[in-house]
């Protein structure tokens, strides 16, 4: 009997892919990405109208595939349909995040809030980035907020911040590291509850 071509041998079926994803097989994830990433990217571009944002969404989709591979059941439908379902949710999340950013920028503009250092020819994306950073900073603990404001808006080094605040340099570095971590998470995931709000909600359950 003639052996099937190598390309066919190397093309696993959906049940095999599902089993591999559930077992954490990176080769199966690579095969899934190779087979369906173009479809996901095309859906994202069509919905978002931005190739770079579509690339980010595509990565998020396959991260979701990797993390949720144990939840896929071939008997419930084709893997392509499952992946498209994840893509639609991620696209909806991206559109919601975009709407939040636009609402934030609109509210700042309507309130007449100053945008320090703004120039008439400055790209609107840069203005939006600064507004978002300022909004995210406001949600940090006071010490972290003070350190990052001095760093971002007054361009001070950590040594200079220590001199300004009177805090030990190690304390300044710790506040900066923790603040940056929370800031990145906040800008990536959108508004979050403050620790006090979260504590109140948990106690109210």
Mean pLDDT value across residues 188-204:
43
Q: Which residues contact 32 (CB under 8 A, 6 or more apart)?
A: 17, 21, 62, 65, 79, 83
Are 51 and 45 contacting, i.e. CB atoms less than 8 angstroms apart? Answer: yes
Higher-pLDDT residue of 198 and 71 is 71
End-to-end CA distance of the chain: give it in Å, rounded: 67
Find tokens 């404001």 and name the residue: 149
For the record, the structure tokens of 202 come out as 């948990």
Confidence of residue 203 (pLDDT cuts 50, 70, 90): very low
Strand, helix or coil for residue 144: helix
For residue range 45-89, what is the model confidence (pLDDT) as tens digits? Answer: 999 888 888 998 999 999 888 888 777 887 788 888 999 999 999
Most distant CA pair in the chain: distance in Å?
A: 82
pTM, whole model, 2 decimals?
Answer: 0.50
Q: Give percent above pLDDT 90 in the chain.
A: 23
Q: What is the pLDDT of residue 10?
A: 56
For residue range 134-179, what is the model confidence (pLDDT) as tens digits? Answer: 767 778 899 998 888 888 777 788 888 999 999 999 999 999 888 8
Q: What is the pLDDT of residue 186?
A: 62
- Summary mean pLDDT of the chain: 75
Cα 96 to Cα 109: distance, rounded to the nearest angstrom: 20
Closest CA relative to residue 63, chosen from 43, 99, 87, 79: 87
Mean pLDDT value across residues 194-200:
42
Cα 136 to Cα 113: distance, rounded to the nearest angstrom: 16
For the record, the structure tokens of 74 come out as 């071939």
User: Is the confidence at residue 199, as pLDDT, over 80?
Assistant: no
């Amino acid at each position: 009997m003639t052996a099937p071509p190598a390309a066919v041998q190397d093309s696993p079926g959906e049940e095999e892919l599902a089993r591999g994803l559930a077992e954490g097989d990176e080769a199966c994830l690579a095969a899934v990405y190779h087979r369906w990433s173009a479809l996901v990217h095309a859906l994202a571009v069509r919905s978002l109208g931005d190739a770079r944002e579509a690339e980010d969404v595509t990565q998020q989709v396959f991260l979701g595939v990797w993390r949720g591979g144990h939840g896929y059941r071939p008997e419930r439908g084709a893997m392509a349909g499952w992946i498209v379902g994840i893509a639609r949710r991620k696209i909806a999340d991206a559109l919601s995040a975009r709407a939040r950013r636009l609402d934030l920028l609109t509210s700042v503009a309507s309130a007449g809030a100053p945008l320090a250092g703004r120039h008439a020819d400055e790209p609107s994306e840069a203005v939006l980035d600064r507004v978002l950073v300022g909004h995210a900073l406001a949600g940090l603990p006071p010490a972290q907020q003070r350190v990052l404001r001095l760093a971002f808006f007054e361009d001070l080094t950590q040594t200079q911040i220590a001199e300004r605040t009177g805090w030990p340099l190690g304390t300044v570095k710790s506040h900066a590291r923790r603040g940056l971590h929370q800031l990145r998470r906040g800008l990536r995931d959108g508004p979050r509850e403050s620790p006090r709000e979260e504590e109140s909600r948990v106690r109210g359950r």
